Amino acid sequence: MKKRLLLISNSTNFGEEYLEWPKPHIKKFLECIGVKRILFIPYAGIALSYDGLEASYDAYEERVSTVFNSMGFEIYSIHRETDPAQSVKDALAIAVGGGNTFHLVYMLHQLKLMKVIREAVENGVGFLGWSAGANIACPTMRTTNDMPIVEPESMNCLNLVPFQINPHYIDAVIEGHGGESREQRIEEFMVVNNNVYVAGLREGTLLSVADHKIELKGQRPMRVFKFGINTKEYNPGSNINFLL
């Protein structure tokens, strides 16, 4: 069965509307799958308000629905389902929103959904996620940028791809900041996880996976790290199938 993933670094570029830059990619992805209704997983979005609604899963669902509806798709959120696991089994496509990866992973383990989602995607259900939603496609969440506001049962994730993603990757070193750069943090990860590739996925970029082929899309290069190998930049269109 063909595995189809769309792993998006970020939802919003500076000065743009929510999900504006990835909309064409999302639309094409869902049209290729041939679905109109998408199961939405909002558990990362614990501090998001929208259109007068206080921060809640309802507000997050409404915000995402507004964008997806404009493309001709319908979102229904898992937090409203009486049987979350069955809703995953019945889904034709799954979208996982960004926010706090620790809380997202906490909830997916709490509800026993990691294995259910993985099996669904391995059997052909389309999967797309942005930021935290891209993080959980990896073997673990250990390359997230987020604060550990809650302790998950495990840091293990869906393992839909064999490498790690660092969303929102940035090279900048802030003037006057004495802490580690993003690259230094990833180098720390590689010292103790030296057999794993890490993809530094910059703003405005995404990874499209179809079975055994992976493509970088967007306007910026991706930075790839692995212990003992010189860090390298890959432009959109480059052959990056070695990641799989």
Q: How many CB atoms lie within 10 A of CB 95?
A: 24
| pLDDT per residue as tens digits for the range 7-61 | 999 999 989 999 999 999 999 999 999 999 999 999 999 987 777 777 789 999 9
Catalytic residue list: 131, 146, 168
Q: What is the pLDDT of residue 176?
A: 64
Instruction: Name the pLDDT band for 183 (thresholds 50, 70, 90).
Output: confident
From 60, 59, 108, 102, select the one nearest 84 (Cα to Cα): 108
- Give Cβ neighbours of residue 100 (< 8 Å, ≥ 6 apart): 44, 46, 47, 132, 146, 147, 149
| Res. 189: pLDDT tops 60 | yes
Q: Is 102 helix (H, G, I), strand (E, B) or coil?
A: helix
DSSP for residue 54 = P
Sequence spans of domains, the chain: 4-243
What average pLDDT does the segment 190-213 reach? 95
Q: What is the mean pLDDT of the chain?
A: 94
Over residues 203-224, the pLDDT tens digits come to 999 999 998 899 999 989 999 9
Residue bearing tokens 């979350």: 84
Summarize pLDDT for 62-105 with one digit per residue, the tens.
999 999 999 999 999 999 999 999 999 999 999 999 999 999 99
* CATH class, range 4-243: alpha beta
**What is the pLDDT confidence band of residue 173, given thresholds at 50, 70 and 90?**
low
CB 206 within 8 A of CB 240: no
Per-residue confidence band for 175, with pLDDT thresholds at 50, 70 and 90? low
